[in-house]
Amino acid sequence: MPLHELHPDTWIDKYADYLFNYAITRVSDTEIAKDLVQETFFAGLKSAKNYKGEAAERTWLIAILKRKVIDHYRKINSKKGKAEVRMSYANTSEEEGDWLEERVADPFSKGGDETLENEELGLAIQDCISKLPKKQSLVFSMKTIQGMSTEDICNELGINPSNLWVMIHRARTALMGCMNQTWF
């Protein structure tokens, strides 16, 4: 019996923001990142029959997204000419193998430890947010990540400020618990 199962109907609510943050650190363009996430979901559906249930759903989707990022750079590369991109690859004389894939996978190519840690941090927070009840995660994201005003959120969701602060407070308390061991 497989350890994990796919639930494509919940993919967007559960993983879209996580995948988006993963993609954006690699392509540095919100529109392209969004497209890559959408393509990842489509590709996931197409290859669902090959899913063996050994990896968690999100891990499997991330693996697909990694390929999408590589494909994205391959496309750019084929448009611009390979030599141009090769010039920006670190230590070219020492490297062997598929330089393009190494570039995508190489965390140091994007500015070192700090960038890597911030990326890990972002994904850890996103992971914890995805475990919150839907409405709490929505209110927290609108307020904290999108920086929306209390009034706008209340109008959009049809709640009062008191409800909003209770939800944000609960979300933050849960996030502190979720991230406690690693980041506090």
Partner 1 sequence: MKTSREKAKEICTKSQYGEATWWEILQLNVYLLFYKDCAQFSAKNSKLTSLCEQANMQVISEEDKEAMKKELEKQL
Which residues form the interface with partner 1 (CB under 8 A)? 8-9, 11-13, 16-17, 20-21, 24, 30, 34, 37-38, 41-42, 45, 118, 121-122, 125-126, 138, 141, 143-146, 150, 165-166, 168-169, 172-173, 175-176, 179, 183-184
CA distance 159 to 157: 6
CB of 168 to partner 1, least distance (A): 6
Residue 20 CB, nearest approach to partner 1 (Å): 5
Which residue number, 77 or 150, has a Cβ lying nearer to partner 1? Answer: 150
Please check whether residue 60 is in contact with residue 53, taking contact to mean a CB–CB distance below 8 angstroms.
no
Give the 3-state secondary structure percentages of the chain, helix then strand then coil, rounded to 5. 75, 0, 25
* Nearest residue (CB) to partner 1, 20 versus 60: 20
Report how many helices (DSSP H) and strands (DSSP E) the chain contains, helices first.
9, 0
37, 65 contact by CB (below 8 A): yes
Report the residue number, 34 or 58, with the smaller CB distance to partner 1. Answer: 34
The dihedral built from the CA positions of residue 127, 56, 182 and 122, taken in this order, carries a sign that is: negative
Distances (CA, A) of 118 to 91, 125, 169, 172: 25, 10, 24, 19
The token duo for 182 is 């690693």
Contact 6, 54 (CB under 8 A): no
Q: What minimum distance in Å lies between the beta carbon of 176 and partner 1?
A: 5
For partner 1, the closer CB: 92 or 173? 173
Q: Which C-beta is closer to partner 1: that of 10 or that of 59?
A: 10
Q: How far apart are CB 125 and partner 1 at their closest, in Å?
A: 5
We find the least distance from the C-beta atom of residue 92 to partner 1, in angstroms, to be 30
